[in-house]
């Protein structure tokens, strides 16, 4: 399976660099939350023109929980994003005990039938990562889970996440390795069967959120994923 490079964008000015650099998919959020409709419209127009799919965040505040009223608002937002050209969405909820809120997450997925979506990094805030993965794997429409293995991302969660992917093909198939991904981690994750990788600050000059996505930095990740170290790992997994 060919490696997929996902690039996080926050505004329309980020799109050109991501597309030119060779991104396979974009994710759109603004400070970790849903963008306003004009921002989403501008980003989606630019990405569709570049023939790169975009998944847009459904999250209204800084928490991973939600209410019935928020759920209705997110369904409406999701429908607007999809009408504007979004390929899919990012969402996922936890309950007050920091467990995956399967009922609420399923309710949103069922309200947007046939739409591919990513369970975002809320999973990293749960108390038992392996148990949380077992709960999300079978959710309707789910095609990806963005995770760094811990609230601190791959800097702390890499070893546990690598082990989990290595022993469970369903995890490896869905995992989008994210949260401070380091180039040295990529071949080992690929060897475990992971084929989706997400970058954000890594492709902005100086790692600054104020800097726009840079095509050259994206291209360096594209070359890494398409290079022999990752290709050999992929052949090892699939042979």
pLDDT tens digits, one per residue of 16-72: 999 999 999 999 999 999 999 999 999 999 999 999 999 999 999 888 988 878 899
Q: 183 exposed, middle or buried (CB, 10 Å; 0-12, 13-18, 19+)?
A: middle
- Collapse the DSSP code of 33 into the 3-class scheme (helix H, G, I; strand E, B; otherwise coil) and give the result: strand
Q: Which residue has the tokens 């805030």?
A: 125
Q: What is the CA radius of gyration of the chain?
A: 17
* Distance, CA of 110 to CA of 129 (rounded, Å): 24
CB 11 within 8 A of CB 39: yes
42: domain CATH number?
3.20.20.380
Instruction: Give tens-digit pLDDT for 86-118.
Output: 999 999 999 999 999 999 999 999 999 999 999
Identify the domain containing residue 179 by its residue range: 4-238
Please tell me the total count of domains within the chain.
Answer: 1
């Amino acid at each position: 399976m060919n490696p997929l490079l996902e690039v996080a964008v926050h505004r329309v000015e980020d799109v050109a660099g991501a597309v030119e650099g060779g991104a396979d998919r974009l994710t759109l959020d603004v400070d970790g939350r849903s963008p306003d409709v004009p921002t989403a419209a501008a980003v989606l127009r630019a990405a569709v023109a570049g023939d790169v799919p975009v998944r847009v965040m459904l999250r209204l505040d800084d928490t991973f929980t939600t209410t019935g009223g928020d759920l209705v608002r997110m369904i409406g937002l999701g429908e607007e994003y999809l009408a504007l050209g979004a390929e899919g969405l990012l969402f996922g909820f936890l309950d007050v005990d920091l467990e995956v809120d399967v009922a609420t997450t399923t309710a949103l997925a069922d309200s947007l039938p046939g739409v591919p979506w990513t369970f975002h990094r809320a999973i990293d805030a749960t108390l038992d990562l392996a148990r949380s993965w077992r709960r999300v794997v079978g959710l309707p429409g789910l095609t990806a889970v963005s995770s760094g293995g811990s609230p601190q991302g791959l800097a702390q969660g890499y070893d546990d996440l690598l082990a989990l992917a290595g022993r469970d093909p369903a995890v490896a198939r869905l995992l989008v390795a994210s949260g401070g991904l380091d180039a040295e981690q990529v071949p080992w994750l690929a060897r475990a069967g992971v084929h989706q990788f997400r970058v954000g600050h890594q492709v902005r000059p100086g790692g600054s959120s104020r800097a726009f996505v840079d095509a050259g930095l994206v291209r360096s990740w594209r070359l890494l994923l398409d290079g022999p170290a990752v290709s050999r790992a992929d052949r090892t997994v699939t042979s």
